Structure 1
Amino acid sequence: MPEGRIIKALSGYYYVLDGETVWQCRARGVFKKKKISPLVGDLVEYDQERNQEGFIQQIFERNTELVRPPIANVDQAVLVFSLAEPQISLLLLDKFLVHTESAGVKSIICLSKSDLVSTEKFQPIVSLYEKLGYDVLVTHQLKTDPSAQIRQLLPGHISVFAGQSGVGKSTLLNSIIPGANLLTGNISERLGRGKHTTRHVELIPYQGGFVADTPGFSQLDFFDIEPEHLSHYFVELRQYLPDCKYRGCLHVSEPQCAIVSALQRGEIAESRYNHYLQFLKEMKEKKRRY
């Protein structure tokens, strides 16, 4: 039975790329009975019928899964944040990092518009996240081509772009993959959608991998993370977790908390810890409401 990858899901149809051919498929009813939904990024087995149509028969095991946007098997996220216009929100950046860490997805931080702020303002940000082990790219509108730096990191990967609204993620994507609009138009032709709009998740083939163009990845919540697990997704906190006295420690006011002690010794950035506390508060409030 042929195999392919779902590159788009729209109106109950799944578009499966097999080689250079896209097949429009439905999912067998057995998936609905098992409460399994095929996702963009899934590797699947499908049968081929007339007019490049078919039915998905099997979904192979996923390596990773993101809930928002709904996409499977992504292995890296490019988090695009501008240093000015709009001003960078480190709170939002840390929220993205929590979600990518919880999904097991590598994050690359891209800081744009460095020409609009002084080096003294953005260098501490670069140093903080590089110290945590993240790759940080700094781009300059006049002196550097941001797409040139990112292009080198994409071949062979399934990458998703995310970040602040209004920083030009789609524009960056189009500069990385010339003709991306044309590709989207070709695949969507049978649906009568001729222009490129980011209303759904779609994978665009790129040098042995894929780049995901996604909508609505600027609004994140913590419905899928338990409060006692939040600390696992702050990379600098993990090493201290075994040394806390109490299992299930939330690292706020519990006695003999290793993370609070590390904070007092200056081993943990206060800004990141404050974001941890804010996220913890958000999670508790949402659980009370629901």
Structure 2
Amino acid sequence: MKKGQIVKALSGFYYVKSEDRIYQARARGLFRKTSESPLVGDIVEFQVENETEGYITAIDERKNSMVRPPVANIDQVLLAMSLVSPAFNYYLLDRFIAYAEAQDMKPVIVITKADLGGDAALMAEIREVYEMYPVFFTDNNKVGDEMLSIFKDKLSVLAGQSGVGKSTLVNTILPGAELITDEISNKLNRGKHTTRHVELIEIAGGYIADTPGFSTIEFSMIDKYNLKSCFIDFDGPGEDCKFRECLHINEPKCGVKQAVEEERLAASRYESYKQIFEEIESRKERY
């Protein structure tokens, strides 16, 4: 019995990397009974049938998993937002950050089209608001060594609003990956019907999922009590709240609201929190 990581899934076959070798494996029928399918990124046990083929017999417990792209055990998510065209949007970025935090994925903020924006004040403000995370500005999608260093020993995926150049960014990081761009799939309107395999591509000592990434967020897995833990910059001010279970909405003597008033905490972050909180509340009322 061997152990390895699935680095590619295609047409019912799983390609498992183990000790620098790739094995083509099928999943045993037992997974059909549990309705659990192996995902790219899974750490699996497999039985070798011959030199290059085998059967997956067990899946290790996952750290996390996503449906789109279907990847498991993600360490970090590159959140691609543009400075201009479309204009930078704090609320959209905060949604992605909250989602990543809820899934135990480290957010890495990548601002594209910085060479087109040229707004030094906005760039400085973005750095200040998100000082708790790595922030990179890409000029004409050039990627520096400092950004490449974040991939070591990590499994990364990509997310971000449509039209920011996610595919172009990945093609810059990984020359030759030839990602299908969002624009093409939108024009053909075949995105839902084309067969896309998911593959982990080696990059700077780690892996990145070779998919166009995701651009929409739903908070179905977060409740209003857990949301505040997805805003890690609330942790410090939250210690000053009068009530231990303070939700930072209507409670008196709230440390978070006080920090916003005193400009120790970005008002944009708190506004995003309130909007997402209301979205979760209204979802509960609907159901």
Q: Residue in 1 aligned with 2:260?
A: 263
Structure 2 CA distance for aligned equivalents of residues 65 and 263 of structure 1: 34
Contact 1:68–1:220 (Cα < 8 Å) also in 2: no
Output the TM-score relative to the length of structure 1: 0.82
**Displacement of 1:68:** 4.4
Question: How far 1:2 moved relative to its partner?
Answer: 1.8
Map 1:209-288 onto structure 2 (within 5 A). 209-215=206-212, 217-288=214-285
Written as runs of structure 1 = structure 2, the 5 A alignment for 1:76-95 is 76-95=76-95
Separation of aligned partners in 2, 1:286 and 1:220 = 14
* Distance (Å, rounded) in 2 between the aligned partners of 1:15 and 1:283: 39
CA distance change for structure 1 residues 243 and 166 in 2, over 3 Å: closer, same or farther?
same
**Aligned mates of 1:11, 1:284 — CA distance in 2:** 41
Post-superposition shift, 1:180? 2.5
User: What is the DSSP-based 3-state SS (H/G/I as helix, E as strand, rest coil) of the residue aligned with 1:153?
Assistant: helix
Distance 1:56 1:91 in 2: 42
Aligned residues: 272
Secondary structure of the residue that 1:15 maps to in structure 2? strand
Aligned counterparts, 1:186-201, within 5 A? 199-201=196-198
Alpha-carbon displacement from aligned partner over 1:29-80 (angstroms, at most 9, x marks no partner): 4334445432221111111336944321122233444454332222222212
Identity %: 45
Residue aligned with 1:107, SS: strand
Relative to structure 1, the CA distance from residue 51 to residue 175 in structure 2 (aligned partners, 3 Å threshold; closer, same or farther) is same
| Contact 1:3-1:18 at 8 Å conserved across structures | yes
Letter of the aligned partner of 2:247 in structure 1?
A: L
Tell me the TM-score normalised to structure 2 length: 0.83
Q: Given the superposition, is the C-alpha separation of residues 207 and 149 from structure 1 closer, same or farther in structure 2, using an over 3 Å criterion?
A: closer
For residues 127 and 173 of structure 2, the distance between their equivalents in structure 1, rounded to whole angstroms, comes to 23
For residue 78 of structure 1, what is the amino acid of its counterpart? Answer: L
CA displacement at 1:274 relative to structure 2: 0.4
Which residue is 1:70 aligned to?
A: 70
Mapping 1:1-290, distance limit 5 Å:
1-19=1-19, 21-49=21-49, 52-66=52-66, 68-117=68-117, 118-130=119-131, 133-141=132-140, 145-146=142-143, 148-181=145-178, 199-215=196-212, 217-290=214-287
CA distance in 1, matches of 2:50, 2:72: 28
SS in 2 for 1:237: helix
CA 1:99/1:47 → structure 2, altered by over 3 Å: closer, same or farther? same
Kindly tell me: are residues 139 and 178 of structure 1, through their superposed partners in 2, closer, same or farther at Cα, counting changes over 3 Å? closer
Partner of 1:193: none
Asked if the contact 2:157/2:209 (under 8 Å) is kept, the reply is yes
| Per-residue deviation, residues 182-231 of structure 1 (Å, max 9, x unmatched) | 9xxxxxxxxxxxxxx89453211234321112345111110111111101
Distance 2:43 2:280 in 1: 33
CA distance in 1, matches of 2:26, 2:239: 47
- More divergent stretch after superposition (13-22 vs 83-92): 13-22
Using a 3 Å threshold, how does the CA distance of structure 1 residues 2 and 207 change in structure 2: closer, same or farther? Answer: farther
Deviations 1:5-46 (A, max 9, x none): 112334544332335544333323433444543222111111
Runs of at least 5 residues in structure 1 that lack an aligned partner in the other structure: 183-196
* Contact 1:147–1:172, Cα closer than 8 Å, also in 2: no
Task: Report how far residue 181 of structure 1 moved.
Answer: 4.2
